[in-house]
Amino acid sequence: MLKIEDTEDGIRCIGLNRPDKRNAIGVEMTLALEDVLLKTKTDSTVKAIVFHGLGGHFCAGMDMKDFFDSSTRPPDVLLRARAATEHWRIQLLRQMPQKIFTAIEGYCLGGGLPIVAASTAVVAQREAKLGLPEINFGFVAGGQILKAVGEVMSPRGLAYATLTGRPFNAEQAQRWGLVTQVVESDPFEQALILARASL
Amino acid sequence: MGASPYAPVDLVDGVLTIRLPAAQASIASELTTSLHVNAMNNLMALLSFAQADENVNVIVLRDEGEQFGASLGSAADTDPEVNHQFVQGLRDLPQPIVAMVHGQIHDQALAVLQAFDIVLATGQDDWATLSFPASELEEQTYKLARELASKDPLILRFTKKTVQQVASIAWEDILSFTTVQQAEIKSLQAGCPSPRALAIESFLAGKSKPGAGA
């Protein structure tokens, strides 16, 4: 679910690795995210973190099949996964002693945005599509996601994204404060450069 | 809902349009200000009707003059309390409120503009959510307004409320806030077909792509 690689100079690269689901966060991935952040938090050899997605997308949000109305997961598994999700997105991301950098290509939606919001710098490929489409699914985006995103995004951008559910591009995301740099090339390479510069 | 001479309105497909009157510079300034205070009071009365009207899903405010809010500006200069009440009235509206700004904006109206959820404008100013060429502004504004009006009204209102409130809620309380809100929505939807279940079913069946905005 995650591809974790450490560079020699102390950068931990965490790749969301579920390309057939556009890296949607399912039960296994959310448990893995909690686990890697818990371990990284106390690992003094890790100086910076770079999040990225494998397979052409960063993250399509939370996996509808796993977490919502039609979930076939056993209740105890679902309960544990939900607790893990709130743990990493409400607490761990905000407590990490390392600086976080994020590379976005393809989709970056809903449940993937707290990672973006917790980042020191976000590099997005020009064709990337960001968004908060929850309203199109007939529900309100979680307060915990909106609070995280609202800490970096302009209020009017946040209102537009949540009320319309429309995706918006990398340039717009940069204007609204969610993205630091828009690139034509591989955003992961550029995020690594920024992470190295921060060491 | 009756029309006012200073704030013509129309309601089409859940979109309520309120037109601000053009500023009347040719009239003596005291009379202009008086007219504008009346206009603002009329607007406040309209907004209180709109707030309670279940047929109103979205509100669009536009200006018939060359400078958005010029007719409100002189009233605000004269009576800050009226202006404050007006801005608060806009903020308290449960429906999303969209401003369509053609050209310039009156200085005093900038405070009013802060109360809008979405601002579509012809200029690239910081206060604009999105900018369009003048020839496209009206079309884009109503495309967006109709799109908003087509969404589940309950979810639309709760989404607006959440966006407005989250910044003031402490991190340690945010999960409780979300849980309470979800329970409230569930209670209000009790006995009705769940739009959420239908949307997720449609998505999982590959019939819709809500993440792509469709």
Concatenated DSSP letters for A19-39? GGGTT-B-HHHHHHHHHHHHH
Residue B162 with chain A: CB contacts under 8 Å:
140-141, 143, 146, 162
Q: Do B196 and A158 touch (CB under 8 A)?
A: no
Per-residue confidence (pLDDT) for residue B29, from 0 to 100: 55
Residue among A140, A160, A165 minimizing CB distance to B181: A140
Whether residue A9 is predicted with pLDDT greater than 80 in this model: the reply is yes
Mark yes or no for CB contact B163/A68 under 8 Å.
no
Instruction: Please give the pLDDT value at position B6.
Output: 43
Q: Helix A75-86 to helix A27-41 angle, to the nearest 10 degrees?
A: 40
Q: How much is the pLDDT for A49?
A: 98
A49 DSSP β-pair partners: A12, A100
Chain B residues in contact with A138 (beta carbon < 8 A) = 152, 155, 194-200
> Does residue A156 belong to the interface with chain B, where contact is any CB pair within 8 Å?
yes
Judged by CB atoms closer than 8 Å, whether chains meet at A167 and B212 is answered as yes
C-alpha separations of B24 from A128, B70, B96, B103, B107 in Å? 47, 9, 29, 17, 17
Q: Is the pLDDT of residue A2 over 90?
A: yes
pLDDT surpasses 50 at A23: yes
ipTM for the assembly: 0.93
Side-chain-side CA neighbours of residue B27 (13 Å): 12
Does the distance separating the beta carbons of B199 and A136 come in below 8 Å? yes
Q: What is the pLDDT of residue B7?
A: 52
Report the C-alpha gap between B140 and B64 in whole angstroms: 17
Minimal Cα distance from A142: which residue of B? B178
Taking the C-alpha atoms of A29, A35, A41 and A42 in order, what is their torsion angle to the nearest 10 degrees?
Answer: -160
Over residues A63-72, the mean pLDDT reads: 82
On average, the pLDDT of chain A sits at 96
DSSP state of B4: B
One digit per residue, the tens of pLDDT, for chain B of length 214 reads 444 444 578 999 999 998 876 665 544 455 555 556 677 777 888 888 899 999 999 999 987 766 676 666 655 555 677 777 788 888 899 999 999 988 777 776 777 888 899 999 987 777 889 999 989 999 999 999 999 999 999 999 999 999 999 999 999 999 999 999 999 999 998 888 777 777 777 888 888 877 777 6
Q: Which A residues, 27 through 56, put their C-beta within 8 Å of a C-beta on chain B?
A: none
Contact state of A64 with B152 under an 8 Å Cβ cutoff: no
pLDDT digits (tens, 9 = 90+) for A165-180: 999 999 999 999 999 9
Nearest residue in B to A137, CA atom: B199
Question: What is d(CA A45, CA B86) in angstroms, rounded to the nearest whole number?
Answer: 56
Asked if B158 and A163 come within 8 Å (Cβ–Cβ), the reply is no
Q: Is B88 in a helix, a strand, or coil? A: helix
Please give the pLDDT value at position A183. 98
Chain B contact for A75, CB < 8 A?
no
Which of B158, B185, B196 is facing A69, going by the closest CB pair? B196
Long-range contacts of A151-157 (CB under 8 A, 24+ apart): A151/A117, A151/B167, A152/A116, A152/A117, A152/A177, A152/A178, A153/A117, A153/A177, A153/A178, A155/B163, A155/B167, A156/B116, A156/B117, A156/B118, A156/B119, A156/B127, A156/B129, A157/B129
Name chain B contacts of A151, Cβ cutoff 8 Å: 167
Q: What is the DSSP letter of B169?
A: S
Query: What is the Rg, in whole angstroms, of the alpha carbon atoms belonging to chain B?
Result: 19
Q: Nearest C-alpha of chain B: how many angstroms from A44? A: 26
Question: Taking CB atoms and an 8 Å limit, are A140 and B159 in contact across chains?
Answer: yes
Asked whether the beta carbons of B21 and B6 are under 8 A apart, the reply is yes
Q: Which amino acid type is present at position B6?
A: Y
Residue with tokens 């999105």: B130
State yes or no: pLDDT of A142 exceeds 90: yes
Cβ atoms B167, A147 nearer than 8 A: yes
- CA–CA gap between residue B127 and residue B124 (Å, rounded): 8
pLDDT of residue A162: 97
Residue with structure tokens 């998505």? B203
Which residue in A has a C-alpha nearest to residue B197's C-alpha?
Answer: A69
pTM score, whole prediction: 0.91
What is the Rg, in whole angstroms, of the alpha carbon atoms belonging to chain A?
16
Strands (E), A17-152: 48-53, 99-104, 107-109, 121-125, 129-131
**A–B CB contacts, 8 A cutoff, strictly below:** 140
* For A59, nearest residue in chain B (alpha carbons): B211
Beta strands in A44-161 (DSSP E): 48-53, 99-104, 107-109, 121-125, 129-131
The upper half-sphere exposure of residue A5, i.e. CA atoms within 13 Å in the direction of its Cβ, equals 13
Kind and range of the H or E run holding B99: strand B97-101
- The CA distance from A162 to B209, in Å, is 16
